[in-house]
Amino acid sequence: MAGPSGKKEKVDKKEKAAKAGPSAGGGGGKKKKDVKKETGLGLSVKKDENFGEWYSEVCKHEMIEYYDISGCYILRPWSMAIWEIMQTFFDAEIKKMKVENCYFPLFVSPGVLEKEKDHIEGFAPEVAWVTKSGKSDLEVPIAIRPTSETVMYPYYSKWIRGHRDLPLKLNQWCNVVRWEFSNPTPFIRSREFLWQEGHTAFASKEEADKEVLQILELYRRIYEEYLAVPVVKGMKSENEKFAGGLYTTSVEAFIANTGRGVQGATSHCLGQNFAKMFEINFENEKGETEMVWQNSWAYSTRTIGVMIMTHGDDKGLILPPKVASVQVVVIPVPYKDANTQGIFDACTATVSALSEAGIRAEEDLRDNYSPGWKYSNWEMKGVPLRIEIGPRDLENNQVRTVRRDNGVKEDIPRGSLVEHVKELLEKIQQNMYEVAKQKREACVEEIRTWDEFINALNKKKLILAPWCDEEEVERDVKARTKGETGAAKTLCSPFEQPELPEGTLCFASGKPAKKWTYWGRSY
């Protein structure tokens, strides 16, 4: 129990008042205009009713700030901390694989950028060009990297001479720019974003193939273990693979509310195509010249957007404990005549105990907000677990925990605080993943005919269909499903293939099906 029983209602009234407007909540020196929005209380739309608006509002508390250049966003500390936690995990994992970090320039000269034809065709429309410095025109316009294959590979050619120089495994954490004109969306589709890009070269295809999957497994872990977002590992179609590469594997997520797939991260085998263009050769042990086999792989701040879309609810964000910069918020629930100082001290002691145990905990002792206002505020920001301490709790030497994921309340003795909280955080992490997985699985529809396909697409399903795996057929499906909300396309052919009985036909072409493939609209 948070407050003394019988008095609880009063707190709730205060909470309501706070939600309704600024008068009760204080406002701490806030300017009068727009106070409702700024107090951070209450979303103006529901997730199921207007997903786009809901997403934008949720992001504003306080993951991003919209910027005065369209398609660019400010990553505020609340989201940056999530990025840093993922980065720490991934960076350590790739270092175990002997990948080394480096930094290549932001700028590419046009000659180099255009060297690989398929590649530049894929990126050319989105390339931003610097043409001036100060008031002078540059002699030659210079491109800003949309990705760094063409930035890096001329130097791979220089550094790789003999088989002992292989494998070469480099990674960089950086910003890239793709000046897209389709709907910008925070995290999901922005003109500048942060990512890591790994670029590796091997003596044999076998080694390259193996690494592609090792990296893909790390991407799966980021989504499933850290962000609690279920993903499907699979192979991209010829149409959807990386421009200039041999094949592309990806982890694909699915946003149930919009019925859209979202490419979570990609791990490409580039084959020897770039090696040929950039003359990346080596002398093998027999003294013969061979071309290297290359991979490139990346994940970006898009991950954060997928997490927000997957877990958020009508109260705001829900952050998985493993990536939340604040895992537990401790809120005093004082009551007149009660031992306010004792309550405050208990809050501080609770935060200390949790912090010492490595749990990221904070107290909210602000005196200009009611407990109810604080509950809503921290719910909006998605903190996984709230601890309330009121007079009754003090008396009983307990604290009250409230889970953000399912609202479940529990009174726990202060003596076993740390163990209980650790356990709760693990349960929340696990539950968020399970709930998201069930939600996604409820969206999967296995179809066999064109009519079933269209029907499922209209119902915003994640469609699993038998396919002939022909480029022309995918293009045809795109053309036939083109509409206001975009066309359907392949998301991936999952590595875990259901059985494909002999004689199964492609849903779109009627030709013999070669594999099961996920289809849908996508981000």
4 or 110: CB nearest a copy of itself:
110
Q: How many CB atoms lie within 10 A of CB 426?
A: 12
Candidate segments 160-168, 217-225, 411-419, 440-448, binder of a copy of itself by CB under 8 A = 160-168
Candidate segments 94-102, 234-242, 463-471, 482-490, binder of a copy of itself by CB under 8 A = 94-102
Site residues (CB under 8 A) for a copy of itself, limited to 368-407: 368
Q: Which of 10, 44, 46, 74 binds a copy of itself (CB under 8 A)?
A: 74
Site residues (CB under 8 A) for a copy of itself, limited to 284-323: 284, 287
Per-position b or e across 463-476, b if 16+ CB within 10 A of its CB: bbbbbbbbeebbee
The residues, ordered by sequence, that sit 6+ positions from 238 with a Cβ below 8 Å of its Cβ are: 471, 474
Candidate segments 24-32, 251-259, 291-299, 449-457, binder of a copy of itself by CB under 8 A = 24-32
364 or 474: CB nearest a copy of itself:
364
The whole-angstrom separation of Cα 501 and Cα 496 is 15
Candidate segments 122-130, 226-234, 251-259, 378-386, binder of a copy of itself by CB under 8 A = 122-130
Q: Does 68 bind a copy of itself (CB under 8 A)?
A: yes
Q: Which of 6, 9, 96, 132 binds a copy of itself (CB under 8 A)?
A: 132
The whole-angstrom separation of Cα 348 and Cα 410 is 20
The whole-angstrom separation of Cα 408 and Cα 238 is 47
Site residues (CB under 8 A) for a copy of itself, limited to 37-56: 38
Q: Which of 126, 314, 423, 451 binds a copy of itself (CB under 8 A)?
A: 126
Q: Which of 1, 17, 45, 106 binds a copy of itself (CB under 8 A)?
A: 106
Candidate segments 121-129, 292-300, 333-341, 453-461, binder of a copy of itself by CB under 8 A = 121-129
The residues, ordered by sequence, that sit 6+ positions from 349 with a Cβ below 8 Å of its Cβ are: none
DSSP strand pairing (328-332 vs 385-389):
parallel
Q: Which of 10, 49, 67, 485 binds a copy of itself (CB under 8 A)?
A: 67
Among 142, 70, 73, CA closest to 108: 142
The whole-angstrom separation of Cα 292 and Cα 171 is 18
Omega before 167 within 30 of 0, i.e. cis: yes
CB 264, CB 252: distance < 8 Å: yes
The whole-angstrom separation of Cα 292 and Cα 57 is 48
Note the residues at the interface with a copy of itself (CB under 8 A). Answer: 27-31, 38, 65, 67-69, 72-77, 80-81, 83-84, 100-109, 112, 124-135, 141-142, 144, 154-155, 158-159, 161-165, 170, 174-175, 177, 179, 191-192, 194, 282-284, 287, 366, 368
